[in-house]
Amino acid sequence: MKFSDYHYERPQFESLERNFKDLLEEFRTAASADEQDRIFTRINELRDEFVTQNSIAEVRHSIDTSDEFYDGEQNFFDEINPRFSQLKDLLFEALIQSPFRTELEQRWGKQIFTIARLSLTTFKPEILDDLAAENHLRSEHTRLIASAKIEFKGQQRNLAGMVPFEVSTDRATRKKAAEAKWSFFEANSKAFERIYDDMVKVRSGIAKKLGHDNYITTSYARLLRSEYDAGGVAEFRAQVREHIVPAVQRLRERQAQRLGVDKLKYYDELLDYKDGNPEPQGQPEWIIRQAQTMYNELAPETGEFFTFLRDNDLMDLVNKANKAPGGFCISFPRFDAPFIFSNFNGTSADIDVLTHEAGHAFQNYRSFRFPIPDYYWPTYEACEIHSMSMEFFAWPWMKLFFKDATERYKFAHLSSSLNYIPYIVAVDEFQHYVYANPDASPADRNAAWRSIEETYLPFRDYDEFGFLERGGSWQRQSHIFAEPFYYIDYALAQICAFQFWQRSIEEPQQAWTDYLRLCDAGGSLPFLELVSLANLRSPFDKGCVQSVVASVENWLDTVDDSQL
């Protein structure tokens, strides 16, 4: 069934709630593990239907944020999702209390019980209104970002539409484009700061009602981090400061030489080569045809998967007016179908986002075989291994997209993947500061961000653009608003993806076999067990970051980038 044919119907929540609770009562009084297993399946069918309708509304709202009907449906789900979460927690309580837990663990694995335990620490009925308020603030932020209408070169453009000008070979154009983009954030900075301040206060209030020290504890539990804590993440950030920041400094110096500038400015960072970044050599439909060839040749499993996406119109890829920014993958469990959302803009990022989100979608597509919705996706840091590694598994087919510029693309792609990590950990450290100091003023937060930025991005030069010099650049990072503490997962996953990159060169068949095993495990194991399952080294291991970065730098050093 094509996505356009998916029937949307607002869930009748009172009926859902009644059926859910009736089944829960049957579950609690069941006389055997077999009976509880059957009832659990029926409960999960209700969960899948609700999530599917929520996802349909979210995608259609994201495709056109000006659509009044789906804007209303998004508001409905903002209100009702906390009540749905409450039902899930009642289910989790019943799972934890099951007299047949040992037998159920043998059938389902232990991870569902870990998920249940952590989830129960993040909910009480007293926070229902707070959760709804948090959801409304997320939606308000999405609408604000999507409202960007930037006058540039005689046209109104949204944020994605500005990217081609930010990578212009003309430095004056790059500077003007960057200033125009950041002027949107500066003009709306009070709105961004107010939304974020409200979010921080709501979330900190939730933490207090849950009996947590602060929202850091709450968020780690929400993210189902069962194997590491904030201390472990801080040690990982220290590895990044020691080994990756100096490596990125060296890469930025090489970039300045390639561009022929004395000092790299913030508006130079997105341009890799003086005569322009490599671009896909065709329009979106052409890109999709090349991607089909690539996935057909990569593996039978990926060929089948990508054909399924194409045949069922499960991608909306091109930037357009009123479309929400960014890229993401979401799923419709009732149809065993993932969906890819992005904003193609004619740059190499179109290929990056397609292969990245295809990694997410492929894992999800493979994981619908699980009878447990909680296993359709793993925790975020494991999810990002699938996506970032898929970017590298696609390397042998980049010639389909970039033709003679393929080697230029590979060097830029690998170096940018490393360059991005210090920014990621800066965002993470900033969020730890924010939620450890929830009463800090917007000015305090901006100052803290600027200080952290100078630690992890010492090369960054804002060329006296006041808003950025005062610490305003964090406001463009949607994860800070919508998904607190998620961002570090990209850095953890990138260290794992670099290992797959190296292995895909040295032992491609074994690397792919391990990647497929990782995808097939879905969310049935916690992060570090999934890493081990894929024969990867944990990014928390002492020396891991240093070793991985050395491999990446060694490859980059073999390339004479001045000749690319």
Do you know the residue count of the chain?
564
Residue 322 Rama label (left phi>0; alpha psi -120 to 50; beta): left
- Of the candidates 426, 389, 95, 396, the residue with the CA atom closest to the CA atom of residue 245: 426
Please spell the DSSP secondary structure of 385-422, one letter per residue.
HHHHHHHHHTGGGTHHHHGGGHHHHHHHHHHHHHHHHH
Helices (H), 98-122: 101-108, 111-120
The Cα 389–Cα 496 span in angstroms is 8
429 to 109, 216, 236, 333, 510: CA distances (angstroms): 34, 11, 11, 35, 36
pLDDT digits over 353-399, tens only?
999 999 999 999 999 999 999 999 999 999 999 999 999 999 999 99
| Whole-number average pLDDT of the chain | 97
Whether 287 is in a domain gets the answer: no
Measure the CA–CA gap between 494 and 498, rounded to whole angstroms: 6
Which backbone phi and psi does 343 adopt, to 5 degrees? -130, 80
Distance between CA atoms of residues 508 and 501, nearest Å: 9
Residue 62, amino acid? S
Mean pLDDT of 138-162: 95
pLDDT of the residue at 269 = 98
CB count in 10 Å sphere of residue 564: 17
Q: What is the pLDDT of residue 181?
A: 98
Tell me: the pLDDT tens digits for 69-112?
A: 999 999 999 999 999 999 999 999 999 999 999 999 999 999 99
Residue with tokens 């990621």: 424
**What was the pLDDT predicted at 124?**
94
DSSP code of residue 524: S
With respect to residue 518, please indicate whether it lies within any of the assigned structural domains.
no
pLDDT digits (tens, 9 = 90+) for 159-198: 999 999 999 999 999 999 999 999 999 999 999 999 999 9
- Tell me the C-alpha distance between 550 and 556, whole Å: 10
Rg (CA), the chain: 23
Characterize 133-168 residue by residue with b for buried, 16 or more Cβ atoms within 10 angstroms of its Cβ, and e for exposed.
bbbbbbbbbbbebbebebebeeeebbbbbbbbbbbb
% of the chain surpassing 70 pLDDT:
100
Query: Is residue 511 domain-resident?
Result: no
Instruction: Read off the tokens for 414.
Output: 């690998």
CA pair distance 159, 345, nearest whole angstrom: 10
The residue-averaged pLDDT of 431-440 equals: 98
Query: What is the token pair recorded at 20?
Result: 């859910």
User: If we measure between CA atoms, which residue out of 320, 365, 362, 314 comes closest to residue 341?
Assistant: 314
pTM, 2 dp: 0.96
Q: 503 and 467 in contact (C-beta within 8 Å)?
A: no
Distance CA 519, CA 359 (A): 9
Q: Across 191-336, where does the E strand assignment appear?
A: 315-318, 328-332
**How far is the C-alpha of 474 from the C-alpha of 131, rounded, in Å?**
24
Angle, helices 230-239/544-557, rounded to nearest 10 degrees: 30
Distance CA 488, CA 237 (A): 9
Instruction: Give the 3-state secondary structure of residue 157.
Output: strand
- From CA 416, how far away is CA 412, in angstroms rounded? 6
pLDDT at 475: 98
What amino acid is encoded at 418 in this protein?
L
In a domain, 124, yes or no: yes
As a whole number of angstroms, the distance between CA 555 and CA 506 comes to 13
Residue 204 lies in a domain: no
What percent of the chain shows pLDDT beyond 90?
Answer: 100
Overall number of domains in the chain: 1
Contact 266, 463 (CB under 8 A): yes
Q: 10 in a domain, yes or no?
A: yes
Predicted pLDDT of residue 397: 98
Residue ranges making up the domain that contains 22:
3-135
CA distances from 499 to 139, 288, 351, 538, 555 (A): 37, 27, 21, 10, 13
Average pLDDT over residues 387-414: 98
pLDDT band at 442 (very low <50, low <70, confident <90, very high): very high
| In 227-385, beta strands by DSSP E | 315-318, 328-332, 337-344
Look up tokens 């005569």; give the residue.
275
**DSSP helix/strand/coil, 331:** strand
291 falls in which pLDDT band (50, 70, 90)? Answer: very high
Residue at 88 is within a domain: yes
Model pLDDT for residues 302-330, shown as the tens digit of each residue: 999 999 999 999 999 999 999 999 999 99
Beta-bridge mates of residue 432: none
- How would residue 342 be classed by pLDDT, with cut points 50, 70 and 90? very high
pLDDT level of residue 127 (50, 70, 90 thresholds): very high
CA distance 534 to 514: 5
> Structure tokens of 326?
């960014």
For 482-520, what is each residue's pLDDT tens digit? 999 999 999 999 999 999 999 999 999 999 999 999 999
* Within-domain flag for 382: no
